[in-house]
């Protein structure tokens, strides 16, 4: 077994679709309960009461997912013929798992030779189903990581924390992606204010929990904000004390990145060493500035430093201009901004004091407010889609090479 397969028990699985067809209530129940497994956060699991005929009917009209699991009461020539028909509706990358009635080693070998990924004998427990799906997806798609998006302000007061929090809502609520919002600001963290919770720990306590591999203790330091957003409940640190070393914070990131599909990090009040760490590791960086000379001067310097730190490129850097219109007579135009910083703004957020002041006391007010919802959808959502690299189907874009499929080659192998 490969190392990737061995890791299937403790990593976040790649984004993929899985369809399960069975008429057995226990199999249906066990399959549906897998949705609560954190490893399956990016897996779209469709559990349907039916059999191979149901699968043929459904995939005659729509594209088949990465994995199809079918339970059957008989495995004879008639079933194999219908399986062959189903294979003609699937791409060559589609994998298949069959659940059958008998434990027959010769049948197992025959199905594997035909291109079926695995053969299970009923009854099949929940842990067996989850492990087979996990290992099949790892073989099929490889191991893919989470997306880390870092938010940084060109200076204090430009609204980087507010933009980070609002975009976290966009990722979780509007795009349906499970996500985690963190920061490395220690006692200067503002997450607890708009999110409405009391700080549950310090960065040092989080670091100790990581070093001890105390996942239960670490989990207590996160607050659930709806079904898809978890927020680090830090902020208990003393304001004037140093926080933690970059290598300690990196171990915390390593633990998060195998469990959360999208990690959004607010760097607003972080120490320089932690900022450098997160900027170096981030898949995408969002730099927030106001359209004023002072803010843009810092933005230009930061863009150069970020580019140098990341090897000279700016492809994964977005510039958001916030509070546009607050003082029009003193603001720089979008054309002049692009010339000055050599980067076109990805979004211009108008000055909306009532909305953003309300955000400080109740973040979810943004989605409840018509103006806030329009801002999120029309202005920030395009940036969000780019930063988390979500494709047209709502899955995180996986750049890894796809492995050869199984069910799609069934017909060729059978012949």
Q: Quote the CA–CA distance of 215 and 225 in Å, as a whole number.
A: 19
pLDDT tens per residue, range 149-163: 999 999 999 999 989
Q: Quote the CA–CA distance of 351 and 159 in Å, as a whole number.
A: 11
Distance, CA of 299 to chain centre: 28
Mean pLDDT of the chain, nearest integer = 85
Give residue 397's pLDDT.
52
Assess whether pLDDT exceeds 60 at residue 412: no
pTM, 2 dp:
0.69
Q: Residue 33 contacts by C-beta under 8 Å, 6 or more apart in sequence?
A: 126
- Asked if 191 contacts 232 with a C-beta cutoff of 8 angstroms, the reply is yes
Dihedral sign, CA of 94, 99, 105, 107? negative
Domains of the chain: 3-143+400-414 (3.40.50.2300), 147-388 (3.40.50.300)
Q: Quote the CA–CA distance of 209 and 198 in Å, as a whole number.
A: 19
Supply 300's token pair. 């230009």
Instruction: Describe the crossing of helices 334-341 and 293-309 by its angle, rounded to 10 degrees.
Output: 40
Assess whether pLDDT exceeds 80 at residue 12: no
Span of 38-42, 133-137, 268-272 with lowest mean pLDDT: 38-42
Assess whether pLDDT exceeds 90 at residue 133: yes
Assess whether pLDDT exceeds 60 at residue 274: yes
Half-sphere exposure of 412 (CA within 13 A, CB side): 9
Give residue 145's pLDDT.
66
Q: Quote the CA–CA distance of 242 and 239 in Å, as a whole number.
A: 8
pLDDT tens per residue, range 17-67: 999 999 999 999 999 999 988 788 889 999 999 999 999 999 999 999 999
Give residue 217's pLDDT.
87
- Asked if 231 contacts 190 with a C-beta cutoff of 8 angstroms, the reply is no
Q: Quote the CA–CA distance of 171 and 388 in Å, as a whole number.
A: 8
Assess whether pLDDT exceeds 80 at residue 390: no
Give residue 241's pLDDT.
87
Nearest to 401 by CA among 67, 93, 64, 2: 93
Q: Quote the CA–CA distance of 189 and 67 in Å, as a whole number.
A: 42
Q: Quote the CA–CA distance of 320 and 79 in Å, as a whole number.
A: 57
Give residue 14's pLDDT.
81
Nearest to 324 by CA among 159, 170, 169, 162: 159
Assess whether pLDDT exceeds 70 at residue 68: yes
Assess whether pLDDT exceeds 80 at residue 283: yes
Burial class (CB in 10 A: 0-12, 13-18, 19+), 1: exposed
Output phi, psi for 10, to 5 deg.
-140, 25
pLDDT tens per residue, range 79-131: 888 988 998 898 888 899 999 988 878 788 878 877 888 999 989 999 999 99
Give residue 359's pLDDT.
67
The three-class DSSP label of residue 122 is: coil
Supply 16's token pair. 């993929």
Query: How, if at all, do strands 229-232 and 222-224 pair?
Result: antiparallel
pLDDT tens per residue, range 188-232: 888 888 777 888 889 999 999 988 888 888 888 899 888 889 999
pLDDT tens per residue, range 305-360: 999 888 787 888 999 999 999 988 899 998 899 999 999 999 999 998 888 877 66
């Amino acid at each position: 077994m490969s190392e990737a397969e061995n890791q299937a028990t403790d990593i976040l699985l790649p984004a993929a679709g899985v369809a399960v067809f069975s008429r057995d209530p226990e199999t249906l129940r066990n399959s549906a309960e897998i949705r609560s497994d954190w490893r399956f956060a990016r897996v779209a699991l469709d559990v349907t009461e039916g059999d191979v005929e149901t699968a043929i009917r459904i995939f005659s009209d729509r594209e088949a997912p990465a994995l199809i699991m079918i339970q059957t009461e008989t495995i004879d020539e008639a079933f194999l013929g219908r399986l062959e028909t189903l294979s003609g509706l699937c791409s060559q990358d589609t994998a298949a798992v069959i659940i059958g009635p008998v434990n027959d080693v010769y049948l197992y070998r025959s199905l594997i030779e035909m291109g079926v990924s695995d053969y299970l004998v009923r009854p099949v427990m929940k842990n067996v189903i989850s492990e087979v799906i996990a290992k099949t997806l790892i073989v099929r798609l490889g191991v893919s990581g989470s997306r880390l998006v870092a938010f940084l302000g060109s200076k204090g007061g430009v609204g980087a924390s507010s933009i980070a929090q609002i975009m976290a809502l966009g990722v979780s609520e509007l795009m349906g992606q499970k996500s985690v919002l963190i920061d490395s600001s220690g006692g200067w963290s503002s997450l607890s204010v708009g999110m409405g919770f009391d700080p549950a720990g310090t960065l040092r306590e989080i670091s100790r929990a990581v070093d001890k591999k105390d996942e239960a203790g670490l989990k207590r330091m996160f607050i659930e904000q709806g079904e898809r957003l978890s927020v680090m409940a830090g902020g208990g640190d003393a304001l004037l004390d140093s926080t933690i070393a970059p290598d300690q914070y990196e171990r915390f990131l390593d633990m998060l990145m195998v469990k959360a599909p999208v990690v959004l990090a607010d760097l607003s009040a972080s120490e320089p060493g932690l900022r450098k760490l997160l900027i170096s590791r981030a898949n995408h960086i969002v730099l927030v500035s106001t359209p004023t000379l002072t803010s843009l001067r810092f933005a230009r310097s930061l863009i150069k430093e970020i580019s140098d730190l990341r090897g000279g490129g700016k492809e994964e850097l977005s510039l958001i201009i916030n509070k546009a219109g607050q003082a029009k007579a003193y603001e720089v135009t979008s054309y002049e901004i692009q010339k000055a910083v050599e980067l076109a703004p990805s979004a211009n957020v108008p000055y909306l004091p009532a909305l953003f002041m309300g955000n400080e006391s109740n973040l979810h007010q943004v989605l409840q407010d018509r103006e806030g919802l329009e801002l999120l959808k029309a202005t920030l959502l395009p940036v969000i889609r780019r930063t988390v690299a979500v494709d047209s189907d709502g899955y995180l874009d996986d750049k890894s090479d796809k492995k050869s499929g199984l069910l799609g080659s069934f017909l060729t192998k059978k012949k």
